[in-house]
Structures are given as C-alpha cells and as structure tokens.
Structure 1
Amino acid sequence: MNNGSVTDPLTLAHEVDAGLRAEARPERAASEKAYLKSHLRHYGTSVPAIRSTVRRTVGVEGLNHDDLRTLVAALWAMPVHECRVAAVELLASYVHLLSTDDVDLLERLLRESRTWALVDGLAANVVGPLVERAPGMGPVLDRWAVDADHWIRRAALLALLVPLRQGAGDFDRFGRYADAMLAEKEFFIRKAIGWVLRDTGRRRPDLVYAWLLPRASRASGVTVREAVKPLSDAQRAAILAARKPT
C-alpha cells in the first residue's frame, strides 16, 4: 500500500494484525492488560512498534477516505488492544481526510475505548485537529462536555490540549468545560483538567494562574498538583494557600 497499490482495506487489516503479532511480547502483554484493566486481548507490542508496523504495512499515503474508514473499522473490530491502537494511529496520520461527517465514527470509537490508552490519542490527535479546522465541531464538544460518560467528557477536554500546549487554542472553551467539571469525583476528569492546565501553563503561566486562583478551593488535589507545576514559586504558593480553609 505504501507504494500506491490498492490493496483491499480488509486485507490490510489482517496484514497489520500479523505485523503486530510478530512484535508481540507476552511478558509485557500480561502486565499491560492488568494495568489497563482491559477486556481485550493484548499482544504486548510497544507503541513504537505499533507505529512502525502501521507505517510499514499501510504507509502514510495511498488511502482514500472510504478506505480509511473501512480499515479503521476492521482493526477496531478485532478484540485486540494493539489493533485498536493501530486504528488510532491511522486516524491521526490521515486526519486531513476527516470532516465533521466522521464524528459518528469518532464518537463510537471513543465510547467503546473505555481506557485513557485509546481515548487520549483519539481526542488529542484526531478530534483535536478536526476541531481546529472545522467550526462545526464546537457544538459537538459542547455536547460531549456534559455527556454522562466520563470518557466522552475527558475527550472534550483533551481535544483542546495540543493548541493550548503550543501557546494558542481556545482557552475560553476549555475554561468553561473545566469550571463545570471541577467538582467531579472522577479521577480521569480531575487528571485531564490538571494536565491541560499544566501544559498551557508552560507557555502562559499567568493565564493559568489567573484562571485557577479563584477556583483553587473547588479544585481537587490531583488537578492542582498538575496545574501548578510550571508556575512560579509565588504563584504556586498563592494557589496552595487559597486551597486551605480559612
């Protein structure tokens, strides 16, 4: 496929699977499955090996939009963690082919992921670039931010991560979502808020400080510990002091 041939996507899916199995590490598989509390089969193939297998088997050119969807769906249908990671990597490599018409697919994959190891890549590296170029994604994120599924809410936050990390992005939108979620008990929401604040703060610490200080008493320890890492000593001390009961 990487030479421009028109290999059937379903055949490609089986070739990717075979490549992933060839890189399997059974000793890694058992520990990773337990760590992720996964219901899927695990080969123990590392993420770098997954990426190289995808590049070697599929390449980064040659798929059209429909073939991409077919290949991703076929890989996802295999009850194997590494095949699903490969599907995420493919979507990230071919994200330029995606549009708001593909939200149905992306949302289905997010809902079926049930782990940060799949949700985070889908949100930051697939949904995120689509949000940046498609204004119609705003209402989608608004809906996700209040979804009953905490993985979908996490995806709404992390879809905004990469531009904010780069010193750009829509901090106002993130701030609205995060403010509404600050009181949540779910660890993966608390961690995501802190993560985005931490990465935003590396370039714009004053922005993060101004947002977090009046909310410090409502923010969880997980969120605050991440968020204050790039801040100055004075800013960090002020936020920690604001968390103490008066």
Structure 2
Amino acid sequence: MDEVDELVQAARSGLAELADPVRAAHMRRYLKSAMDFRGVYKPERVKLARRVFGEHPLPDRDSFVAAVLALWREAAFREERYLAIDLTGHRAYARWQDHSLMPLYEEMIVTGAWWDYVDDVAIHRVGSLLRADRERMTPVLRRWAHDEDRWRRRTAVICQVTAKADTDRDLLTAAIEANQDDQDFFLRKGIGWALRDYARTEPDWVRAFVEAHPALSPLSVREALKHLGGGQP
C-alpha cells in the first residue's frame, strides 16, 4: 500500500469510527444530499484531518493530487469529500498552491455542484490563487462569470469574499453584471454575499454600486445592504 492509499484508508477508517447515524440523517436532510453522511461534525473532522494528514505525509505533488482525487471521486460519504477539500488546504502542501491546480479545483466545483463544496473551494482555494497570480487567474474567472455552469459562475462572483482591500473591483463588477439578471437563487444569494462582505471594507462603494445597478434582484440588494441599512424589505 502506497502513501496515497494509506492516507485515504486512514481517513475513511477515522470517519467510520466517528460515525453517528442519527446526526447523519439530519445532515443529509439539511443539505438535501443524494450522498450519504457519516454524521461527523466539522470540529471532529478537523481533528481527524490534522491527525491523519500528519501521520500520512505525501512525498510529492502528484501524490497530493492523487490523494485529493481519490477522496473526492471515490467518496461514499459526504465527509470524505470534505476531507478532500481539507487536504487541499493543508499547510504542508502550501508550496504546491498555484494556477496549475485549477483543473483540480474546477472538477471539485463542477462535480460537487452544491454550496457546501463550492463555497469553500471558491473562497479559500480559487480566491487565494487569484490574489497570488492575478495575471493568469483573472481571465479564467472572467470567462467563468459567463459559463453555462452556475457553480463556475457562482465561483467567479464569490471568490473574492474575505479579500477586503485586495478585492479587484473590476473583476467583482464584471462577475456581478454578467449574472445580475439570472433567476438562479444561488447566484442571487452569491451576489449579495460578495457585496455584503466587501461592504465591510468599502461601504460607500457598495451603496453606490447597488444604486447604479437597478437590475439587481431584491434578494441581492437585501443581502448587500444587510449591515448598512437601506436594504429592501
């Protein structure tokens, strides 16, 4: 058994030991998930990830990607995919975080196709790559803002959440304007979230943006102005 198999097996065994069928049923209903849950809450999963990733180091980039994909593609329980996302953010492998991982993250976004997967990858992986390499990443996200897949589009909208003063306003504007007329709940909610988050840094800019974009949905406006006052009832 090689390093990848050892890590994957340890992750699965650890989840099985922590399994709680009652919680699993509740989590599955809440997420409207077709995939089963083990019933492991995040704090327990974080401790498990810290132990398993520490005990089973991966020697190179290829094995890192292989382990992520094994946890992701072969998942029988949703928490296995959460651990795949956790692995992509493990500090021991930060040196491999560059634009060449975008095919990996794109697969996770498109095949995950639900907010609990997509939002984490969009903000903590794609967003970090954007800030580290704007020249390569910005054109990709501008294309994604117009993509047929709503989860690529949501990623383009929300990837700068938490960026604060490092937010690229032109990219944020382009992503929102490309989707402001869309009826999709997750896009409308994502637009509001992205604006609300940036309002913590530039409240006047967000107020002016909302005023200048009357096509924004009431949901997006409410979310954008939630902590500023002036949101639509």
Same fold (TM over 0.5): yes
Show the counterpart of 1:97: 96
The match for 1:111 is 110
What is the DSSP-based 3-state SS (H/G/I as helix, E as strand, rest coil) of the residue aligned with 1:161?
coil
2:44 maps to a residue whose letter is A
Instruction: Answer yes or no: is 1:13 the counterpart of 2:8.
Output: yes
Amino acid at match of 2:103: D
Q: CA contact under 8 A between 1:98 and 1:130: conserved in structure 2?
A: yes
- Separation in 2, partners of 1:12, 1:87: 11
C-alpha distance in 2, partners of 1:148/1:230?
A: 32
CA distance in 1, matches of 2:223, 2:192: 5
In structure 1, list runs of 5 or more residues that go unmatched. Answer: 1-5
CA drift of 1:211 comes to: 0.9
Please tell me the residue identity of whatever aligns with 1:80.
F
TM-superposed CA distance for 1:61, in Å, is 9.5
Q: What is residue 81 of structure 2 aligned with on the other side?
A: 84
Give the distance between the partners of 1:210 and 1:103, measured in 2 at CA. 33
Which residue does the alignment assign to 2:61? 65
What is the alpha-carbon distance in structure 2 between the residues aligned to residue 31 and residue 143 of structure 1? Answer: 37
- Judged with a 3 Å threshold, the aligned counterparts in structure 2 of structure 1 residues 60 and 219 are, in CA distance, closer, same or farther, namely farther
For residues 198 and 214 of structure 1, the distance between their equivalents in structure 2, rounded to whole angstroms, comes to: 16
- Label 1:193 to 1:19 Cα distance change in 2 as closer, same or farther (>3 A): same
1: CA distance between counterparts of 2:71 and 2:162? 26
> Structure 2 CA distance, aligned partners of 1:48 and 1:96?
26
Q: Using structure 2 for the length normalisation, give the TM-score.
A: 0.91
Question: Secondary structure at the residue paired with 2:33?
Answer: coil
C-alpha contact (below 8 Å) 1:194/1:222 kept by paired residues: yes
- Residue 1 (structure 2) pairs with residue 30 (structure 1): no
Match of 2:123 in 1: 124
- TM-aligned CA distance change 1:9 to 1:162, over 3 Å: same
Q: CA deviation at 1:136?
A: 0.7
Deviation at 1:196, TM superposition (A): 0.8
SS in structure 1 of the partner of residue 38 of structure 2: coil
SS in 1 for 2:40: coil
Q: Distance in 1 between matches of 2:68 and 2:22?
A: 27
Distance (whole Å) between structure 2 residues aligned to residue 196 and residue 26 of structure 1: 35
In the superposition, the TM-score normalised over structure 1's length comes to 0.86
Task: Please give the secondary structure, in 1, of the residue aligned with 2:178.
Answer: helix
Contact 2:180 2:188 in 1 (8 A): yes
What amino acid sits opposite 1:214 in the alignment? Answer: A
State how far apart, in whole Å, the 1-side matches of 2:183 and 2:44 are.
Answer: 35
| Partner amino acid, structure 2, of 1:155 | T
Structure 2 letter corresponding to 1:34: R
Deviation string, structure 1 residues 27-72 (Cα, Å, up to 9, x no partner):
1211221222212121111112111111111139943322210110
Quote the residue 1:3 is aligned against.
none
Q: Indicate if the aligned counterparts of 1:10 and 1:70 stay in contact, CA closer than 8 A.
A: no
Checking the alignment, whether the CA contact within 8 Å between 2:110 and 2:151 is kept in structure 1 is: yes
Between the aligned partners of 2:159 and 2:116, the Cα distance in structure 1 is 15
- Aligned 8 A contact 1:144 1:152 in 2: yes
1:119-148 Cα distance to aligned partner (Å, 9 max, x none):
010110111111111221112112211111
Q: Which residue of 1 aligns with 2:215?
A: 218
Matches of 1:196 and 1:138, distance apart in 2:
17
Q: Residue deviations 1:103-162, cap 9 Å, x none?
A: 211111111102101001011011111111122111211221111111111111122212
Relative to structure 1, is the Cα distance of residues 60 and 191 closer, same or farther in structure 2, using a 3 angstrom cutoff?
farther
Residue identity in the other structure for 1:73: L
